[in-house]
Amino acid sequence: LKQTSGNPSSSFPPNFLFGTASSAYQYEGGYLSDGKGLNNWDVYTHKPDNVIDGSNGDIAVDHYHRYMEDIDLMVSLGVNSYRFSISWARILPKGKFGKVNPAGINFYNRLIDALLLKGIEPFVTLTHVDLPQEIEDRYGSWLSPESQEDFAYFADVCFRSFGDRVKYWVTFNEPNYQVKFGYRTGTFPPSRCSWPFGNCTSGDSEKEPFIAAHNIILSHAAAVHIYRTKYQAKQGGSIGIVLNCAWFEPISNSLADKLAAERAQSFSINWFLDPIIFGRYPLEMQNILGSILPEFSTTEKEKLQKGLDFIGINHYSSSYVQDCMFSACEPGTGTSKTEGFWRETSQKNGIPIGESTDLDWLYVYPGGMEKIVTYLKKRYHNIPMIITENGYGEEGKANATIEDFLQDVKRAEYMAGYLDALSTAIRKGADVRGYFAWSLLDNFEWQYGYTRRFGLHHVDYKTLKRTPKFSASWYKELIAEHGKVKYQTTERVQKHPY
Ligand code: GBH
């Protein structure tokens, strides 16, 4: 990443990336088109009861066929970058056990070229949750060290095929939640868990998340090693990883609650970043977990250190954290030993941390953006950071009309508040290089199917018609002014109704 010099008239540096984000399974559809193999989400969603509205991503928002139309929407927004992910099974239908699918390569070539033609920087995630079913069937995905070779092979194919034009690479999206859902709660494939509330048939919720995470961390390191030794000098891009970075606010000023909040950060974020940057797991995790935590060999440790060029931050929400280690929490309310003994709550003395939304996990607390960015800046010595996702989700009432969704003043206010907090962090010295809104379009929201909408554009799921919401026009104006707008929008949105 190139250093950019500050522009006194704006908190955002001159080459700041303003974009929108997406992911392959949530957008593309075309699940059997042109030689694509089945992936774990194709198989998972085709089984009953895994998605609340019984839907799947077979068609999703048909980005596979409508990407040109979607690029036009980006042009209209004025974004200078687009974050998307590659469907692994489109490139390698059977992982490393089969051939490269030329039609898959061709699709991403066309997408990348069309973006560049419009001056939009492709920002590419290698895998955003989906992987070839072959890998799941053969060896249970991330539970086996063999996954490292498979991922490295895939990464190599992508760098070789697209790296002449792609300057930003992300290895994994939110592996911290991927392993939690896949191997602790069992609510994502491969649906492994042993907790009483889960309905998994096999797994070990207290051990497998750490094994899966370990293999993902080493897979990341393997891909970075390939990029740095074979491609980076020639291609000149940069590579990072994306984590979900919620902010955990201690519920009181007591030392116990502060330590609990620190454990919450460690057990969800530093769990991945410490090994990749320092070559070891966080000390809190080592102390509590002991031998549950897999070990890195000496050569692995060397390979791991400084293993990224930027930290990708998905930040949406914050919660309060209460200690459950030094004093017992009410049974069933705190996390177990393997998550670090703390209790998460959205309220303090009956007052929520921020305005609530339709989604039970999403509270509007813009201060969390400044706090998490500042926290990561300090812990990782201001390695460049990029906000790879931030967004506002709605369920809408059962009888909601398109008009109700188009008047998304709350989404614009949410983004305005978070961008304002981000600009404060940048002004105080945080090296943040970009911001991607989740999401360009309403899309397939994993186990919630099509019931939750995060788009700046509304999608009619019968016709797949895209319609800009109020937030799209708001974001367009913000970008046109390089983020230099009056941030407190309540007044602005009243002045510029949809
Ligand atoms: C992102 O994760 C994903 O990267 C993206 O694919 C998705 O569409 C987008 O969010 C919107 O949800 O069940 O209490 O543990 C966002 C972070 C982390 C939000 C897990 C939901 C579940 C809270 N997600 N979180 S809980």
Confidence of residue 196 (pLDDT cuts 50, 70, 90): confident
pLDDT reported for residue 496: 45
Q: How far is the CA of 417 from the centre of ligand 1 (A)?
A: 20
pLDDT reported for residue 491: 52
Q: Is the pLDDT of residue 195 over 90?
A: no
d(CA 56, CA 444): 8
Q: Is the pLDDT of residue 11 over 60?
A: yes
Q: Which of 28, 174, 344, 370 is catalytic?
A: 174
pLDDT tens-digit map of 19-37: 999 999 999 999 999 999 9
Does ligand 1 have an atom closer than 6 angstroms to the CB of 23? yes
Kindly calculate the radius of gyration of the chain based on its CA atoms and give it in whole angstroms: 21
Of 397, 460, 378, 329, residue with least CA distance to 62: 460
Does ligand 1 have an atom closer than 6 angstroms to the CB of 257? no
Ligand 1 atom with least separation from CA of 129? 6
Q: Is the pLDDT of residue 455 over 90?
A: yes
Q: Is the pLDDT of residue 309 over 60?
A: yes
Of 318, 476, 376, 293, residue with least CA distance to 485: 476
Q: Which of 134, 249, 262, 389 is catalytic?
A: 389
d(CA 283, CA 289): 10
The verdict on pTM exceeding 0.90 is: yes
ipTM for the complex shown: 0.89
pLDDT reported for residue 4: 36
Candidate from 162-176, 360-374, 390-404 with smallest mean pLDDT: 390-404
**Is residue 174 flagged as an active site residue?**
yes
pLDDT tens-digit map of 100-156: 999 999 999 999 999 999 999 999 999 999 999 999 999 999 999 999 999 999 999
Task: Tell me the pLDDT of the chain averaged across its residues.
Answer: 94
Q: Which two tokens stand for residue 220?
A: 């990341």
Give mean pLDDT, residues 203-224: 97
Q: Which two tokens stand for residue 203?
A: 């797994």
Does ligand 1 have an atom closer than 6 angstroms to the CB of 176? no
Of 292, 343, 296, 344, residue with least CA distance to 318: 344
Ligand 1 atom with least separation from CA of 359? 21
Q: How far is the CA of 420 from the centre of ligand 1 (A)?
A: 22
Candidate from 144-148, 322-326, 492-496 with smallest mean pLDDT: 492-496
